Amino acid sequence: MLTKRIIPCLDVKEGRVVKGVQFVSLRDAGDPVELATFYNEQGADELVFLDISATHEGRETMEEVVRQTASTLSIPFTVGGGIRTLEDMKRMLRAGADKVSLNSAALKNPQIIKEGADYFGAQCIVVAIDAKWSEEDQTWMVYTHGGRNRLPIEVIAWAKQAVALGAGELLVTSMDSDGEKKGFDLALMKAIRAEVNVPIIASGGAGSAEHFYDVLTDADSDAALAASIFHYKETSVAQVKDYLRQKGVPVR
């Protein structure tokens, strides 16, 4: 079994890390550069930085904050939010990102996935999918703009298309579980795992070390991402990894 990854996420708004529940009621969680340094020392496998208001506000990702954050890291660093073009990707990679995360822009212009994969390699391109269960459709539907807009696109179909276009990794967030701390959406992750062969980062719902174990084993996700339980010191990356090691899950 390949080593499983634990990834803290920095949701950044106006230069500060924030966290909410189901994408709303945001509260301050600290300075991105300080938190990045802390997670780097804690043994995080990677770090994800999402400028959560860039797309909604129609502006570019905060390049200087990305540069400052990247300068503190010795682990892979993924940046997303407001990345719309190949030029935006180049800018973020020059600023210190190892990978770029595409969400709204990829849905608007799916060919941007192929352009990025062809230019930088698939390993650089992460497609982020915000998913919410629809009772009406009896499946998960895709949302954009920080969970504000529902699209008439089914999550599994979009995941398969993104991978076919060259996405090297999928970052899948369950909006239903986000910030609830009741566990990852295992059914969602299993449904996507059954259809794609690229690494899946599960996001939304982490509340305990057991939840990481469940999504990494039961749902066979490759990585698990969390924010609030790490930011507010409810547990640590080191504690989660210790628990996983005790349960026989390979971690770094």
Q: If you average pLDDT over each of 14-28, 29-43, 97-111, which comes out highest?
A: 97-111
Q: Is the dihedral of CA 207, 213, 219, 221 positive or negative?
A: positive
* pLDDT (tens digit per residue) in 66-90: 999 999 999 999 999 889 999 999 9
What's the CATH class of domain 5-246?
alpha beta
For the ranges 25-29, 134-138, 224-228, the lowest mean pLDDT is seen at 25-29
* Residues designated catalytic: 11, 130
Strands (E), the chain: 5-13, 16-21, 24-30, 47-51, 77-80, 99-102, 125-134, 139-144, 149-154, 169-174, 200-203, 223-226
- Measured distance CA(140)–CA(223) in Å, rounded: 21
**How many other C-beta atoms lie within 10 A of the C-beta of residue 60?**
17
* pLDDT (tens digit per residue) in 175-221: 999 888 999 999 999 999 999 999 999 999 999 999 999 999 999 99
Tokens of 141: 């539907």
pTM value? 0.93
